[in-house]
A and B are shown apart, each in its own frame.
Chain A
């Protein structure tokens, strides 16, 4: 077991290193000179050189990359002498736009994105699994076909269309929800809930559709398994056959997909956050892309990669608990 975790951790580090390298190449080497950008309109060649020296852009590629990695794990110092700025680990640099530390920006927005992700995940998991189960039980009947129609619709509607229509319908036309306004949960829980309700729904609809189909297919396939026939031949009641022999194998693959999807969403829902004006990682990414704020883009990219890799590892570890065949070191 320890060996398994160690293997996974090592693999995770390799993946993250490669992600760092690629993002670094893309954003720092292939992008237009950041020094010119930072300097602005009234700029002298000396000033540009000064900025280059501060950011280390005058160094060779591998040195720059090395400094970047060191910054991530041990922190780094920009510039020299009295003007030097210490950037504590994990250092992702400073925004070209606001001069804020990228790490701080992420730390501020991550809880917001997490709120969006958790709420949506709860919705889509409940709706998807319930819908899939109902569909499987009523296979070929009206309920199944009705749900199939719903999932098709859910999968076909683009996020932003759904977001804008919901806003128009619920806020403007019907007035069921107040106009979104940033409030802390502790100040006004009801208002807070109303704010997040639409983004949750928007994100959950497409996912719920996919999960419904997946659950339905898994359950129907599992019911064909020989061990389900064995369970029936043992004279178990249909309820017991379902609960014990069909559900667990059918829902196990959902765990994998869910881990990946959820981790991905933690890294920000770009469109939804932008449409609803939610100040999360996704909106930050969108803003930084339009302004070519490279350190922020890179920070967000690394965060997303990190979350997906960690999510993947959590799923792997969960599997050892769920599926006895994956349990390591217990083979006879």
Chain B
């Protein structure tokens, strides 16, 4: 890949256990082009969230990361913590699953949007940062942003909170946005709005997007390349179109079958059956 933004090779995440490390991500390879959108799909416990945290260098205590993560030509795994911090939030931003618990209840959303901006950009006045925060909130279609910037997270609805989270990442104009289950905690109608917003932002800013979800319907709308994971293994990857029309692996087919369709005959909801059972 010539113009790759992110190269992941042999990425492995393990937790030390009595009988050797317990690997939750096993030797993962994938690439993301500049401005591309990648979906990482898998059921709970498949290691998809660990993959995103491994890229950010935010793995929980005790977790061990091996393999290579290259971002814009820089090997992230070799960076010291201080240097990695200058990437986090600034060039690689992350959106989390539960927007309520992911925002600090003690500070206004404006403060929380501003603090990343102020810590990455030197010589920024409070007023400038505030204007950036308001602009970011307007960009994610929060009406009355100049007033809402001084409100606290609990004064926003779930969908609006996730917009705030997105505004937080946007204020830094990152080259890569990692969204870990950004719509899982939201109503279906709100889910669609947030996905539209992510697609819109990608189109506007040219930022790359990694969308992590268990919901194939979600990735189908936004991404152009899909990685299917299971138990830390990469099952299959390819262009979104091909994964949906011509899945190669039985597991992918099962995932696809589990998505309820509006034109389904009325009957039992299909659930996943795996060879060894669960």
Contact = CB atoms under 8 A, between A and B. Distances in A.
B151 A235 contact: no
B156 interface: yes
Interface string B49-70: 0000000101000000000000
Contacts of B151: 332
Contacts of A237: 85, 119
Interface in B70-107: 85-90, 93-94, 96, 98, 101-107
A325 B154 CA distance: 7
A329 B45 CA distance: 42
A230 B96 CA distance: 8
Contact of A249 (B58, B94, B103, B104): B104
Contacts of B56: 233
B272 interface: no
Interface residues of A, number: 23
A236 interface: yes
A245 B101 CA distance: 12
Classify chain B: how many residues form its interface, as a range.
20 to 34
B244 interface: no
A257 to B, nearest CB: 18
A304 to B, nearest CB: 33
A323 B106 CA distance: 6
B82 to A, nearest CB: 9
Contacts of A186: none
A98 interface: no
B172 to A, nearest CB: 8
A30 to B, nearest CB: 49
A227 interface: yes
B102 A234 contact: no
Contacts of A332: 151, 155-156
Contact of B101 (A227, A234, A240): A227
Nearest to B93: A233
B58 A325 contact: no
Contact of A236 (B102, B119, B155): B119
A249 B86 contact: no
Interface in B133-168: 151-152, 154-156, 165, 168
A330 B101 contact: no
Given A229-B96, A244-B115, A235 B87 contact: yes
Given A244-B115, A324-B152, A235 B120 contact: yes
Interface string B104-143: 1111100010011001100000000000000000000000
B146 to A, nearest CB: 15
A49 interface: no
Interface in A231-288: 231-237, 240, 244-245, 248-249
Nearest to A225: B101
Contacts of B104: 227, 230-231, 244-245, 249
Contacts of A249: 104-106
Contacts of B103: 227, 230
Nearest to A139: B61
A324 B88 contact: no
A231 to B, nearest CB: 7
A173 interface: no
A248 B152 CA distance: 15
Contact of B115 (A229, A233, A240): A240
Contacts of B154: 324-325, 331
A229 B58 contact: yes
Given A233-B88, A240-B115, A240-B119, A226 B98 contact: yes
Interface in A4-49: none
* Most interface-central of B98, B115, B120 (chain A CB within 10 A): B115
Contacts of A330: 155
A90 to B, nearest CB: 40
Given A235-B120, A236-B115, A332-B151, A324 B102 contact: no
Nearest to A248: B106
Contacts of A248: 106
Interface in B9-31: none
B120 to A, nearest CB: 6
A325 B116 contact: no
Contacts of A231: 104, 115
* Most interface-central of B88, B106, B154, B155 (chain A CB within 10 A): B106
Contacts of A236: 85, 89, 115-116, 119
20 contacts: A226-B102, A227-B103, A230-B104, A230-B168, A231-B104, A234-B89, A234-B93, A234-B119, A235-B119, A240-B115, A244-B104, A244-B107, A244-B115, A249-B104, A323-B105, A324-B154, A325-B105, A325-B154, A331-B155, A332-B151
Closest 10 CB pairs of A and B: A235-B89, A235-B88, A234-B89, A234-B116, A332-B155, A226-B101, A227-B104, A324-B152, A233-B94, A226-B102
